[in-house]
Amino acid sequence: MNFQIYKTTSKFDFQRIDYLFGKAACSIIMTGFFVYCAVKPRTDYLFAMGRFFRAMLFSALAILFWCNVSDAQGITVEAPEAPFPFEPLQMYSFPEKDFPITRYGAKKGDVKANTAAFAKAMEECNKAGGGRVVVPSGKWITGPVHFRSNCNLFLSEGAEVVFDDDPSLYYPAVKVSWEGAECMNISPLLYAFGCENIGISGPGTLAPEMDFWRTWFERPESHIQATRQLYAMFSTGVPAEDRHMEREGVQMRPHLIHFNRCTNVNLDGFRIRESPFWTIHLFMCKDVWAHGLDVYAHGNNNDGIDLEITQHAVVEDCTFDQGDDAVVIKAGRNQDGWALGMPTQDVVVRNCEIVQGHCLLGIGSEMSAGVRRIYMHDCHSSDQVYRLFYIKTNHRRGGFIEDVTVENVSATKMLRVFEIDTDVLYQWRDIVPTFETRISRIRNISIRNAKAEQSEAVFEIKGDSRDPVDGVTIENIEVGLLTGFENNAESVRNLDVRNIVIRSRGNASDAPALSGFAPGR
């Protein structure tokens, strides 16, 4: 199904309204003036003229205001198919003003000049009321790019923004969220904090250098010690601004894109080739539209897009080829998530292709502020995944996951079609202690119309007996070859399983085996 019908450009309609409104206003004013002149003595003409011109001025200002409001409306993005009320996204329309980085001193091969040029172009674009910061065709090596409100980074055809992998370029430290915990760290490669109306668009490419960042993939003892310190700080209420992780030896890799506390975010049509850490991370953002993206990143922890404590978002028509989860819903870690108290909610993911990834849709394990009203449909993996739909948490997280629906999804090979695991701690199980136990509440979860050519199991639910999973629907699941057990369910209530079709059973020597790196695209 082509969901382009759900996206309507409102600018043309508003322009027509502007035109009609202007004609009507002028006609009314002129008619009133002539009627007034016809019935009043000539001595009142001068007085009438003054009133007339004041009325004209106020009318012109009103028309100008109307035009500016309508221009800012941009595009409306709807999701009427969602199983919950979804208010249409009203995306900002960037002014038709361009600020090419070459105007501000950008030179091919000059990291210092280009870093300064991006910063100056963003500043001037913001001062002028918004527009496009344009990257022309060619390879432009740079340090971090920091956004300003009302600015759209436009990547022209043939443009390639290459981020130098020298860590010294990414100082001073900025406020980020790193694996669910807020802290100060070296700057993400593309960063925005507290902005509104920002975007990245165009057919060009973001392609960071990776040689140095790969040396940080393996977490040394100094990194482990720093994560212990960070864990203790957020568990005991130390302010995020005092949690300094930019120190030498900590080696907390920067995100490629990290937009923090931003509103009205439009990610449109560009390509990504590799990332030091999570690829696209939207933290505490509202009103997000990610569409037509082509994302490839096959390093450690290379999630495709992470929506964390983010509300009112549509992700559609994207391709993800990842070394970790493809589309991920998160909501903060433990005490940090509880303190922020803002759940991730009202998210629609549709018409996406996942080439490789650990899962099509992953929820958690950082989900302490809560997750609700998530809908994925018509997404498929053309290669293989570990799981189609995976919910993960542990006894330290608390929070809730509720009202999540996944339907019309498929992949070739996988380990599980669907899994819930409430005891996922990874390395944290032994690295840090449990400061406080809170059991996550998991309710009203559905997966329907899913297909797998080959899977080790159909579903596995490992709930927590202290607060069992409640309300799970698994319906219309088809597996071509089942190589292991059919299902396993522990600590779950109100489990509704219908129409599971297994075409054949047997062993397979070619189960999913996803490496951190895959052939480049």
pLDDT tens digits, one per residue of 242-260: 999 999 999 999 999 999 9
Q: Which of 35-44, 148-157, 509-518 bottoms out in mean pLDDT, i.e. has the lowest?
A: 35-44
Measured between alpha carbons, how far apart are the two ends of the chain, in Å?
27
Provide the percentage of residues in the chain whose pLDDT is more than 70.
Answer: 84
Q: pLDDT tier at 17 (50, 70, 90 boundaries)?
A: very low
Q: Is the preceding peptide bond at 172 cis, omega within 30 degrees of 0?
A: yes
CATH code of 439's domain? 2.160.20.10
E strand or H helix at 273, and its extent?
strand 271-273
Instruction: Choose the final residue of a domain: 218, 252, 286.
Output: 252
Q: Which of 285, 305, 289, 396 is nearest to 354 (CA)?
A: 305
Instruction: Choose the final residue of a domain: 207, 229, 252.
Output: 252
Give me the residue label for tokens 């956004």: 147
Question: Is residue 98 situated within a structural domain?
Answer: yes
Provide the percentage of residues in the chain whose pLDDT is more than 90.
Answer: 81
| Of 338 and 508, more confident | 338
Give the mean pLDDT of 299-324: 98
Specify whether the CB–CB gap between 371 and 345 falls below 8 A: yes
Six token digits for residue 259: 């937009």
Question: Is residue 394 situated within a structural domain?
Answer: yes
Q: Which of 367, 306, 374 is nearest to 342 (CA)?
A: 367
Specify whether the CB–CB gap between 478 and 452 falls below 8 A: yes
Specify whether the CB–CB gap between 477 and 501 falls below 8 A: yes
Residues 125, 73 share a domain? no
C-alpha distances (whole Å) from 487 to each of 60, 95, 474, 481, 503 are 69, 54, 11, 14, 15
Q: Which of 25-39, 153-167, 322-336 bottoms out in mean pLDDT, i.e. has the lowest?
A: 25-39
pLDDT digits (tens, 9 = 90+) for 190-213: 999 999 999 999 999 999 999 999
Cα angle value 21/23/29 (rounded, 5°): 100
pLDDT digits (tens, 9 = 90+) for 430-466: 889 999 999 999 999 999 999 999 999 999 999 999 9
Residues 496, 423 share a domain? yes
Residues 209, 98 share a domain? yes
pLDDT at 55 over 60: no
Question: Is residue 302 situated within a structural domain?
Answer: no
Range of the domain at 395: 332-343+365-509
pLDDT digits (tens, 9 = 90+) for 393-431: 999 999 999 999 999 999 999 999 999 999 999 878 888
pLDDT at 236 over 70: yes
Residues 138, 53 share a domain? no
Residue 492, burial from CB neighbour count under 10 angstroms (0-12, 13-18, 19+): middle
Q: At what angle do helices 11-39 and 45-73 cross, to 10 degrees?
A: 170
pLDDT attached to residue 514:
67
Q: pLDDT tier at 274 (50, 70, 90 boundaries)?
A: very high
Residues 245, 118 share a domain? yes
Q: pLDDT tier at 34 (50, 70, 90 boundaries)?
A: very low
108 residue type, one letter: K
pLDDT digits (tens, 9 = 90+) for 331-381: 999 999 999 999 999 999 999 999 999 999 999 999 999 999 999 999 999
pTM of the model: 0.87
Residues 50, 16 share a domain? yes
pLDDT at 91 over 60: yes
Residues 99, 74 share a domain? no
pLDDT attached to residue 233:
97
Question: Is residue 50 situated within a structural domain?
Answer: yes
Residues 223, 105 share a domain? yes
Q: pLDDT tier at 508 (50, 70, 90 boundaries)?
A: confident
Question: Is residue 267 situated within a structural domain?
Answer: no
Question: Is residue 487 situated within a structural domain?
Answer: yes
Residues 102, 18 share a domain? no
Ordered DSSP codes for 327-367: EEEE---HHHHHHH---EEEEEEES-EEEEEEEEEEE-SS-
Give the mean pLDDT of 216-233: 95
Q: What is the DSSP letter of 368?
A: T
Give the mean pLDDT of 478-502: 98
Instruction: Choose the final residue of a domain: 21, 46, 80.
Output: 80
Q: What is the DSSP letter of 253?
A: P
Cα angle value 399/405/408 (rounded, 5°): 150
| Of 513 and 59, more confident | 513
CA 212 centroid distance within chain:
26
Residues 127, 68 share a domain? no
Number of domains in the chain: 3
Residues 221, 107 share a domain? yes
Question: Is residue 505 situated within a structural domain?
Answer: yes
Residues 503, 374 share a domain? yes
Sheet order of strands, 7-9 included? 7-9, 75-77, 89-90
pLDDT attached to residue 430:
86
CA dihedral over 101, 113, 520, 384, signed as positive or negative: negative
Q: What is the DSSP letter of 249?
A: T
Question: Is residue 352 situated within a structural domain?
Answer: no
pLDDT at 13 over 90: no
